Amino acid sequence: MSIPAHGIIALLRPKQWTKNLVCLSGAFFAARMDDPRIAGRGLLAVFAFCATASFVYVLNDIADRESDRNHPRKKNRPIASGQISVRQALVLAALLLVVAAALGSLLGGTVLALLAGYVVMNIAYSFSLKHVPLLDGMVVAMGFILRIYVGTEVAGVPASAWILLCTLFLSLFLAFGKRRAELNALGADAAAARSVIKQYNVVMLDRLCNVCATLVIATYALFTVLSRSDHSLILTTPPVVFGIFRYLLLVEREEVGEAPDIVLLTDRPIQLAILVWFSLYVAVLYCGLKIHVQ
């Protein structure tokens, strides 16, 4: 029995591949994206992480197939709906793992080890850690930290403590925002769809989101002040603040955020904030835009 193409695409979750662009951060923040070799290695790292992440998504869908059937949206996933069998999904997962290993080996042993660490961590997450409150969000955050390390490794630059902290707090913010949105969307059925949800409540998740949002803004602001003697990067702080506030508004007032990747791809104000931030950062880092403040 052949696997339907649209089922394969759904299993791979290409919309979530945007998060793997974090693998370019090492070259971008070190102002080395204009080096074709470094940029090429960064893109290869992105592809390697896409294959690795899709392997994890398939494995997670296999593990979650029973609980997904109780979720209003996830019940339509290929494995939960019966469109793709567990055996077929395992074959696809094996192929993805081979592709990820092949691409990772081209980038060196350290990158391959980091990809392997991501796989091991997410296997533990799929079968155990996602049921532990708070730790479920921390594992998601560590996935982004590993992406940062892959990016710095392929760019040949050390990982910045500031970028690591910003990434940690931002990913925790998105993870707890996701839990908040799931709690809103599922209501009384939340525990059946995801057991860890019953150990949270709206007040607690709002506090966690607010704490993480504050830490993201504070850490990023300090980074812009301390990373350059002319402090020009403070120009990039307002769009970051706006993006965080906008996301909080969407989660708490409009009750979205269950799929952060969808928000990123559909919300125009957040897209505009990212575009403004990126443009200003490129102008400062690559084009010599400067301001002088004390």
**pLDDT tens digits for range 189-236:** 555 556 677 788 889 999 999 999 999 999 999 999 988 888 899 999
- pTM, to two decimals: 0.88
pLDDT higher than 70, residue 2: no
Task: Read off the pLDDT of each residue in 238-261 and give the average, rounded to a whole number.
Answer: 85
Task: Read off the pLDDT of each residue in 136-155 and give the average, rounded to a whole number.
Answer: 94
Q: How far is CA 29 from the centre of its chain?
A: 18
Please state the φ and ψ torsions of residue 151, each to the nearest 5 degrees.
-60, -40
Give the pLDDT score at 264.
82
Distance CA 113, CA 117 (A): 6
Give the pLDDT score at 117.
96
The confidence band for 78, taking pLDDT boundaries of 50, 70 and 90, is: confident
Give the pLDDT score at 292.
75
Fold of 1-159: Tetracycline Repressor; domain 2 (1.10.357)
CA distances to 45, 47, 115, 119, 220 from 100, rounded to whole Å, are 10, 8, 8, 10, 32
Tokens matching residue 217: 């803004």
Task: Read off the pLDDT of each residue in 275-280 and give the average, rounded to a whole number.
Answer: 96
Give the pLDDT score at 192.
54
Cβ atoms within 10 Å of 271's Cβ, excluding its own: 14
Distance CA 17, CA 179 (A): 20
Environment class of 275 (CB within 10 Å of its CB; exposed 0-12, middle 13-18, buried 19+) = exposed
Q: Which of 114-118, 124-128, 158-162, 284-288 has the highest mean pLDDT?
A: 114-118
Distance CA 35, CA 286 (A): 12
Give the pLDDT score at 234.
94
Task: Read off the pLDDT of each residue in 16-34 and give the average, rounded to a whole number.
Answer: 90
Give the pLDDT score at 76.
81
Give the pLDDT score at 128.
86
Q: How far is CA 72 from the centre of its chain?
A: 23
